[in-house]
């Protein structure tokens, strides 16, 4: 008797379609991601710990935001970069996740934030607000204190911190910490010679928004700076995305970066030697395993039309 199953002789099994739902896992501290059975690639947002604000006196810089890297299609990484490629993984496999701590504020230079990482992708800790110390560069650079340039950000992760300026003993303000989406604001006196610079603090740069969790959240804002002795205006505001505010000089307390945003800490005047720069905010790692469509019941003998349709659609599982 002739076969009617496309040329094969035997039982004709019908394919059964299935779906592995998307899985979103947020790590606020270090841990292990165990992938679902059919996951082959993942999206990520990886934010390092933010840097602490400075407390050097003479106007102190805000801490830089932790480095920001994203592979979410259509979204941005830090420093003006586009989304990176999805990260390849194997199903039912454990992957270590490291979430970086924020830098600690001191009565002098702020400490740099710590690295966050997943599956070989690493974000650099934010720079610590500083006069001449090596802490200023980072994922986003810290704002400068006294009369120096801001710290440099890391390509594809964040922007530079703002410069400060000092003019013959006159009061001045430090630079705002760099954020993932823009530079920290510089003291205008740093752009060239002229009259005494304003004594106020300056804002930190804004962070980057992501909807990887289903709602838009901005992370990795730079810390605001502070002026020396008095402010002709408000202290510098932290950038959107968890940046801490600069302190009111002498008597004020610097704002801390928001936990699990990688925000930079605010600057502290430190003129009396007692105030500390604001701590940087801890980082975060968010992993999204996209939805996976698949076909079961692929053993046995198949109708050639069904085989062709499923192979063409990329759903064939042998």
The string of DSSP codes covering 25-36 is EEESS-EEEE--
Look at residue 237 and tell me whether its pLDDT is greater than 60.
Answer: yes
pLDDT band at 1 (very low <50, low <70, confident <90, very high): very low
pLDDT of residue 301: 57
Q: What is the pLDDT of residues 181-226, one digit of tens each?
A: 999 999 887 666 555 566 788 999 999 999 999 999 999 999 999 8
The domain ranges of the chain are: 1-20+293-318, 22-290
307 vs 318: CA distance, rounded Å: 11
At residue 32, does pLDDT exceed 70? Answer: yes
Rounded Cα–Cα distance for residues 298 and 266 (Å): 60
Q: Which residue has the higher pLDDT, 37 or 147?
A: 37
pLDDT digits (tens, 9 = 90+) for 149-170: 899 999 999 999 999 877 666 5
Reading the block at residue 126, the tokens are: 């934010």
End-to-end CA distance of the chain: 29
Q: What is the DSSP string of 62-102?
A: PPPPPPEEE--TT-B-GGGPBP-PPEE--TT-EEEEE-PPP
Rounded Cα distance, 185 and 197, in Å: 13
- The confidence score (pLDDT) of residue 56 equals 80
pLDDT at 231: 54
Token pair 């500083």: residue: 130
pLDDT of amino acid 10: 46
The whole-number pLDDT of residue 3 equals 44
Q: For 263-290, how does the pLDDT look when each residue is reduced to its tens digit (9 = 90+)? A: 999 998 866 667 889 999 999 999 999 9
**Per-residue pLDDT averaged across 228-254, rounded?**
82
pTM of structure: 0.88
The Cα–Cα gap between 247 and 293 comes to: 53
Per-residue burial over 14-52, b if 16 or more Cβ lie within 10 Å, else e, is ebeeeebeeeebebeeeeebebbebbeebbbbbbbbbbb
The 8-class DSSP code of residue 193 comes to S
Query: Which strand (E) or helix (H) includes residue 313?
Result: helix 304-313
- Distance (Å, rounded) from C-alpha 254 to C-alpha 52? 10
């Amino acid at each position: 008797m002739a076969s009617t199953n496309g040329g094969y002789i035997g039982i004709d099994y019908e394919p059964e379609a299935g779906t592995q739902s998307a899985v979103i896992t947020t790590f606020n501290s270090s841990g292990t991601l165990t992938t679902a059975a059919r996951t082959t690639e993942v999206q990520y947002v990886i934010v390092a710990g933010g840097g602490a604000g400075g407390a050097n006196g003479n106007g102190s810089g805000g801490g830089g935001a932790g480095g920001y890297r994203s592979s979410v299609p259509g979204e941005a990484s830090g420093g003006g970069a586009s989304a990176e490629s999805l990260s390849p993984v194997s199903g039912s496999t454990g992957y270590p996740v490291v979430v970086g701590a924020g830098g600690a504020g001191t009565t002098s230079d702020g400490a740099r934030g710590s690295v966050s990482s997943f599956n070989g992708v690493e974000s650099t800790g934010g720079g610590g607000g500083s006069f001449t110390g090596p802490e200023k560069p980072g994922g986003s650079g810290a704002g400068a204190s006294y009369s120096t340039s801001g710290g440099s950000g890391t390509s594809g992760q964040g922007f530079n911190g703002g410069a400060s300026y000092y003019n013959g003993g006159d009061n001045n303000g430090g630079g705002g910490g760099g954020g993932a989406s823009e530079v920290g604001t510089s003291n205008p006196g740093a752009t060239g010679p002229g009259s005494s610079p304003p004594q106020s603090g300056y804002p930190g740069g804004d962070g980057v928004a992501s909807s990887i969790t289903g709602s838009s959240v901005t992370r990795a804002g730079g810390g605001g700076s502070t002026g020396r002795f008095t402010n002709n205006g408000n202290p510098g505001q932290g950038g959107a995305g968890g940046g801490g505010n600069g302190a009111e000089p002498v008597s004020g307390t610097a704002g801390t970066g928001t936990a699990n945003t990688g925000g930079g800490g605010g600057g502290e005047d430190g003129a009396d030697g007692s105030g500390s720069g604001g701590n940087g905010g801890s980082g975060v790692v968010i992993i999204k395993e996209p939805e996976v469509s698949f076909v079961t019941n692929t053993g046995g003998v198949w109708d050639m039309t069904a085989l062709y349709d499923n192979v063409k659609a990329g759903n064939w599982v042998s």
